[in-house]
Amino acid sequence: MKNRLFKFLLGILTVTSTLLVACGDDDSDDGAELSAPEIGTPTEITQNSFFIDWPFVEGAEAYLIDVATDDEFNDLLTSYDALRNGFSEITVTGLEASTTYFVRVQAVLRDVVSDYSNVVSVTTLSEGGNSGSDTFLKNAADFPVGMAVRSNRLTGQHEQILLDEYDQITSEYEMKMNIMYPSEGNFDFTSADATVDWAIDNGLEVHGHALIWHNATPSWVENFSGTDEEFEDMIEDYIKTVVTRYKGKVKSWDVVNEAFEDNTGALRNSVFRQRMGDDYIEKCYNWVREADSEVLIFYNDYSMVIDAVKRRAAINLMKDFIDRGVPVDGFGFQMHISYDFPGKDLIASTAKEVTDLGLLLHFSELDVRANPNNDLVALTNQRALDQQIKVREVVEVYNAIPEESKFALTIWGMRDDETWLVDFWGHPDWPLLYDSDFNTKKAHTGFLEGLD
């Protein structure tokens, strides 16, 4: 507030001094130049207003403000068509809820007008009071909508939002081998049981994630002292023990996760490949089917949209399994993407490669980085809008695949401050549908828009 008052008083002094100089000079303004204003990030956004400001332009006596509903400024608001304003800030009012507006400004000194400023866009809040919607995701979608969870967060607001928005869950990390099988001969299903039991009690489906993953392998397995045959017997026992325990409770499993190297498509040289051979994936899939004849078997990996070589290797393995009768039901695209990449057409074309095989497609770990280049210290309105558009594109692609190919679209976490990406990349980001205060973001609106 003090800063706003200071700017107000400084504006009066600036305008007054400019007018005094102008009145004392009978010469024309020929040759006078004004810099274009630079609008900052819009703030104080409500359902029908927002605030914008910009640094004072030296020599300016006033500013002309345009507000339109299109970025070409063909549809200008009547009250904001070159509106003259004496200060370098304004609260734009009289707007409609859930509407995107575009703003530009020019500086003025008598007959001299600067170039236009940068254009900023602002989306007013919805009638519900935030940038999201009162419509719940699961009610709007004709496919399951999932979220990654942790067992200690299945209470309070987390629980209420889960029950409102989602009809499927995936354990973020507590149904992986290092958690469920921490030491030889000793299983620990405490967290997994809590997660699965909560889902059953509340009528949500469970997608199991993930039985075999090189990054969640206990040290005792990495350093297994027995023979290769004993190692294989141990893995078979582990898989069958877990799958049997949750038979009829867990709908599907990511049986093997991230088995291929980036860019080359070569099989990752994990301990499982070293000890069990190149056909270890096939062995694991067969063991799952032997333990549960109904559970759905998935392969899951990252960069499937952007790494064509890696994707081709995984697709070829799936084709081979289908041809030879090795059990496989679906393919998971992790969908850890950014607000500006990949494009919608590329997502759609790669999704088609899976659905053309007759497999279920799971967009399994969706988050959309808003700060991939670490150029923000806080989520700006523009970047939130960009994120909204990207989420909408992803959902539009998924919603358009054949009905028989739809398995689920899973968001990888609830709130921005709980995302794994901050620790992984080491800088701030806001990749999810809810902010840290449990408010829906524009990304949530984008999801719903993608279903239209």
Q: Which residues are catalytic?
A: 258, 365
Burial class of residue 431, CB neighbours in 10 A (0-12, 13-18, 19+): buried
Pairing of strands 296-301, 252-257: parallel
Residue with the two structure tokens 């081709």 = 312
> Contact at 8 Å (CB) between 412 and 336?
yes
> Contact at 8 Å (CB) between 176 and 221?
no
End-to-end CA gap in the chain: 42
- Report the candidate in 125, 137, 85 with the shortest Cα–Cα distance to residue 101: 125
Query: HEC states along the chain?
Result: CHHHHHHHHHHHHHHHHHHHHHHCCCCCCCCCCCCCCCCCCCECCCCCCEEEECCCCCCCCEEEEEEECCCCCCCECHHHCCEEECCCEEEECCCCCCCEEEEEEEEEECCEECCCCCCEEEECCCCCCCCCCCCCHHHHCCCCEEEEECHHHCCHHHHHHHHHHCCEEEECCCCCHHHHCCECCECCCHHHHHHHHHHHHHCCEEEEEEEEEHHHCCHHHHCCCCCHHHHHHHHHHHHHHHHHHCCCCCCEEEEEECCECCCCCCECCCHHHHHHCCCHHHHHHHHHHHHCCCCEEEEEECCCCCCHHHHHHHHHHHHHHHHHCCCCCEEEECCEEECCECCHHHHHHHHHHHHCCCCEEEEEEEEEECCCCCCCCCCCHHHHHHHHHHHHHHHHHHHHCCHHHEEEEEECCCEHHHCCHHHHHCCCCCCCCECCCCCECHHHHHHHHCCC
Q: How far apart are CA 257 and CA 302, in angstroms?
A: 9
